[in-house]
Amino acid sequence: MPGVSMLWPDSVALGDGLIVDSGAVTDLHIDRIVAAVVGADEYRLRAWFSEPVRDLETVRYRQEIFADLANDSVRECLDAFSAGMRGTRKRLDWQEHLQHPHQRQWWQLSATAEYVDAVARFAEALAALPLSARALTRWREFITDYVAGPGFCRLANAVHQVQQALSSVRYSLRIVDRTLEVGPAGAEADYSAAIAKLFSRFGVGAPRPGRPRSDWDDINHMEEQILDRVAALHPRAFEQLAEFACTHEQFADTAVMAFDREIQFYLTYLAFVRRVSGTDRAMCLPQLATRGAEIQADGAFDLALVTRRGRADTEVVCNDLRLSGPERVLVVTGPNQGGKTTFARTVGQLIYLAALGCPVPARRARLPLADRLFTHFERAEQATDPDGRLAEELLRIRDTLEEATADSVIILNESFSATSTADAVRIGGDVLDRIVERGAMAVWVTFFDELARSGPATVSMVAATDPGDPSRRTFRIERRPADGHAHAVVLAERFGLTYDLVTTRIAACR
């Protein structure tokens, strides 16, 4: 019976994805975010989180599921199903470590019983839930038909019959000298209470309980022999167990197992969202902007920064961005360590996560579905590179501009700082013109204020400082004209002409 994919609508061909530039995953810290989301990656989700899409239908399909899972009752129902399926897999994994045939067969029966119970409870709970997502409503129809179908009913009846047969097994153990005899259950009395009462006269008290035996403990050689003799006493019950294990070795429906894995894409990500969300920040499902529509994000923050700090209550500054009308490029200037690169990474993360169909780090957002995501971050100069860092930067930006389209997003960080100011401004202006010509969206972190005044397509954003103490960064990125102070500070630091360095040098000369 065919199932329903939780990731791909039927009409979408696989592979129509957002192309992420080589190095962008590292530049934007996407790799850190994915690692934090999947953790030990029990369900092998990393590949899906590494494949953003550009298909509008697929993104909406996934957003619908996330929207339904915002309902606690829906999410709890799916969590309960996942717990049952995890128990099934755990029992099957444990079975592989066992040697005794009766024990292996019993663990398979236990795994099948867990599966039948989890699926039946899931179908019953799902029937009463308010669902809107196309994928989940279709899945509800599938699982309802599956549970009511003859195959599942036969499986459930087989489990019940074998469990009933085994529950009727009774036997006795008789200790004679140094031997242990296994026999049919009789009317023997249980003397444990009488013995405890007898020894209580001597202040011994009731027997102390030993270490509780876990269901997951393996049996020892004596227990194996007892089990063999019990099976000989009740051959029909154990024949039923062996027949069940042989007949139902592959009991789980492949569509159910696929659903259990695919739904973890959503449950795992939402668990991550709950860990990193705080009182001063939120995550949302973005609206999808068509070409030429306004692009915005309110209260956006760097998700990798929260992940690295590892605490949901860590204060992280949120910022807003907006591009409307002819505006296509955010030019970000301001002092060092003012949050400019963090802001640029945030924009890249918004684009990437929106293309996964996932909630993004912002209170509200309207974002485009890009065809390509490029980064152009400063790279360390290699001694083996005969052309130097500037030539390497020019080659990389040339390749980017050749491949960029009106649907592309480009994140540039301190590009062309290896050359003189005049040359960097001239090269930067030419590159900016090319980006605007192609209609691509871009964020450019730079110290060159001239780029922020390139025309109606550019928006100036400035990393702010405390008005009462200009040396203190606020990490707020404000939409306002560049003030020119940042580049002067950078030049002063580069040539050792800051106030502190100059006064220190003068003092040393006295």
305-344 pLDDT, tens digit each: 988 765 555 578 999 999 999 999 999 999 888 899 999 9
Residues 265 and 289 in one domain: no
pLDDT surpasses 90 at 295: yes
The predicted pLDDT at position 207 comes to 56
188 vs 82 pLDDT, higher one = 82
Q: Based on the fold, state whether residues 288 and 429 are members of the same structural domain.
A: yes
Residue found under tokens 């099976």: 231
Same domain membership, residue 424 and residue 347 = yes
461 forms beta bridges with: 332, 479
Classify residue 356: in a domain, yes or no. yes
* Residue 134 forms part of a structural domain: yes
Cβ neighbourhood burial of 171 (10 Å; 0-12, 13-18, 19+): middle
Do residue 269 and residue 368 come from a single domain? no
Determine if the pTM surpasses 0.85.
yes
pLDDT for residue 175: 84
- Which pLDDT value is given to residue 255? 96
Please check whether residues 260 and 393 belong to one and the same domain: no
Same domain, yes or no: 299 and 267: no
Q: What is the pLDDT of residue 503?
A: 81
With b meaning 16 or more CB within 10 Å and e meaning fewer, what string describes 398-414? eebbeebeebbbbbbbb
Under 8 Å between Cβ of 428 and 451:
yes
Of 349, 351, 356, nearest to 366 by C-alpha is 351
CA contacts within 13 A on the Cβ side of 502: 7
Band (pLDDT 50/70/90 cuts) for residue 228 is very high
Final residue of a domain: which of 243, 276, 309? 276
CB 286 within 8 A of CB 350: yes
In a domain, 114, yes or no: yes
Which residue among 248, 276, 304 closes a domain?
276
pLDDT above 60 for 385: no
Please report, rounded to a whole number, the percentage of residues in the chain having pLDDT higher than 90.
65
Q: State the pLDDT at residue 489.
A: 62
Q: Residue 225: inside a domain, yes or no?
A: no
**pLDDT, position 216:** 58
Please indicate, yes or no, if residue 137 is contained in any of the structural domains. Answer: yes
User: Last residue of a domain, which of 276, 307, 334?
Assistant: 276
Domain that holds residue 392: 280-509
At 485 the pLDDT is 62
Res 183: pLDDT? 87
Cβ neighbours, 10 Å, residue 177:
5
| Confidence band, pLDDT 50/70/90 cuts, at residue 389 | confident
The total number of structural domains that make up the chain = 2
pLDDT band at 11; cut points 50, 70, 90: low
Same domain? For 373 and 462 the reply is yes
- In this structure, are 262 and 285 located in the same domain? no
- Give yes or no: residues 242 and 298 share one domain: no
Q: How many CB atoms lie within 10 A of CB 386?
A: 7
Which CATH number belongs to the domain containing residue 355 in this structure?
3.40.50.300
Give CA–CA dist 64/47, Å, rounded: 21
My answer on whether 393 and 292 are in the same domain is yes
Task: Say if residue 335 is in the same domain as residue 363.
Answer: yes
pLDDT of amino acid 490: 57
In a domain, 223, yes or no: no
d(CA 191, CA 183): 18
Decide if 179 is inside a domain. Answer: no
Q: How far apart are CA 263 and CA 135, in angstroms?
A: 10
Mean pLDDT over all residues of the chain? 88
The proportion of the chain whose per-residue pLDDT surpasses 70, expressed as a percent, equals 88
pLDDT for residue 492: 67
13 band by pLDDT with thresholds 50, 70 and 90? low
Beta-carbon contacts of residue 123 (< 8 Å; ≥ 6 apart)? 140, 143, 144, 146, 147
Same domain, 259 and 300: no
Instruction: Round the CA-based radius of gyration of the chain to a whole number and report it.
Output: 33
Distance CA 367, CA 365 (A): 6
Asked if residue 182 is part of any domain, the answer here is no
The pLDDT, as a whole number, for residue 507 is 81
